[in-house]
A = this chain, B = another copy of it.
Amino acid sequence: MAKKTLRIGMIGYRFMGKAHSNGWRQASRFFPLAADLDMHTICGRDPDGVAAAAQELGWRNSATDWTTVVENPEIDVIDITTPNDTHAEIAIAAAKNGKHVLCEKPLALTVEQCREMLNAANQSGIVHMVCHNYRRIPAVAHAKKMIDDGMIGDLFHYRARYAQDWIVDPDFPLVWRLQKNVSGSGAHGDINAHIIDLGRYLVGEFSEICGLMHTFIKYRPLEDSTGKSDGLGAAGSKEMGEVTVDDTAMLIGRFDNGTLANLESTRFALGRKNHITLEVNGSLGSLYFDFEDMNRLKFFDNTLPEDRQGFSDILVTQPGGAHPYVGQWWPPGHIIGYEHTFVHTLADFVSAVAKGTPVQPTFEDGLKNQRVLAAVEESAVNREWVKV
């Protein structure tokens, strides 16, 4: 029972910082972890902001220079929740200091950065993971198990869409997520990255794709000096700046195993708030998932008697191992939400660190994901099919 204690340092404290902090707090409450957790230090550039965040989110210390955190010998794990352009530098430094690293997605801005991150991680022998939290939605993890168990048969189609609507308003300001130098891309790296990852998770590796990216609104008001950066625009702002990322990205293509792909991500679908829909069609059945009903998985089983066939609406809340993760929470039918996916991710990460074993999705997954992202961008620019 003399469990090891993992001391965590987290870089970043905005939206993802809040979600990860909750995950670190809750993981040990609901999952039998192989290590105790110490929320050691949270790090951000604004001293007051990060100090307040430490208090609010449950961290013992705060820091403003991330290099001191990744070099701190008291710290075992670095959790990166900063904007995308900073992932590579922080992760590589952390790895060189022997810290295990959990990094938000997309892993980095370029394939080259991802490769360097993976190399650094491999050289240090650390445990590394990309936080594609949607893999650990119970319904998605259950879908993966059903596919692996052969219940869907050979796969024909993977069809996914990630639709939001938060920037349809042309007065919404030019936040960092709309600036290529900070975010790398728009809907593509932010949300398309998720359904690409889920495709790799559920189906396999992409082989070739043809992509299309588009920016519907090309100029937006600049943010005011308060620098509100997560969706709160400046009402009176007049000065305009160029949107340098895509509003939507879509692709058709093929996986190595012959499955066909159709993916679409957009921030311009009014009424779709965080609408991730997945459909997988195979020779024995089909699966359908909608994130806005994330506790459900629809399953069509073609092996049942014909008169009873229909998409079964599986409420993925059965305990005792019937459904993954969810038995740690509440009785059947008492649903869980968005934040729980981070708890599941962190619980698995802690387990891997405690045992020193790899945990999917690794930085190699992050690299492969980035290759698909890059292939789509190349395809969209050159208007041609691209091998992944």
Interface residues in chain A, defined as those with a beta carbon under 8 Å from any beta carbon in chain B: 15, 19, 22, 25, 29, 56-58, 142, 156-157, 159, 161, 163-166, 168, 210, 212, 214, 216, 231, 248, 250-253, 260, 262, 264, 266, 268-275, 279, 281-286, 291-302, 306-315, 317-318, 322-323, 329-340, 383-385
Contacts and interface: CB of A to CB of B under 8 A. Distances in A.
Identical chains in the assembly: 4
B260 A262 contact: no
A322 B334 contact: no
Given A262-B262, A338-B336, A313 B315 contact: no
Given A29-B57, A294-B335, A271 B250 contact: no
Contacts of A214: 260
A372 to B, nearest CB: 16
Contacts of A311: 271, 312-313
A57 B283 CA distance: 37
Contact of A248 (B25, B157, B272, B298): B157
Contacts of A296: 310
A296 to B, nearest CB: 8
A252 to B, nearest CB: 5
B260 A281 contact: no
Nearest to A230: B331
Nearest to A297: B310
Contacts of A271: 285-286, 300, 302, 309-311
